[in-house]
Amino acid sequence: MVLSKREWLMLYWCEGDKSKRGRSRKVALTSTDPLLLKLFIYSLKQFYEVDPRELKCRLTIWEGVNEDEAIEFWSQELGIPRENFWKSYVRKPSKIRQGKHPLWYVSCNTKLGKST
């Protein structure tokens, strides 16, 4: 799927980072959907000539999910080197959400590592 620049901006407006103006100058998107993140990365490459190897990621994983496997999964899915992943944030499951969560259920925060 190819997005126009207008569609990409709408996607980012709806799903992108919501930091307060002036406090942060990052471009970031967090999602559990690999396709959405692939579109985000593809659009950064197409419209802004960002090399995916410049992107950084932080995963939010459920307690009990293997961090190394989750990083490998997202690294392969998104084409971002493993060394570009920061230490994951581990969430404890609530009483309602008990049991194992698959790797794809991990949320991945993808951001441009430098301001451009």
User: What whole-number distance in Å separates Cα of residue 71 and Cα of residue 32?
Assistant: 13
The answer to pTM > 0.75 is no
User: What whole-number distance in Å separates Cα of residue 49 and Cα of residue 16?
Assistant: 18
Mean pLDDT is highest, among 11-20, 58-67, 98-107, for 58-67
Mean pLDDT is highest, among 26-30, 36-40, 103-107, for 36-40
State both tokens at 67: 């961090």
pLDDT at 115: 42
State both tokens at 31: 């999602």
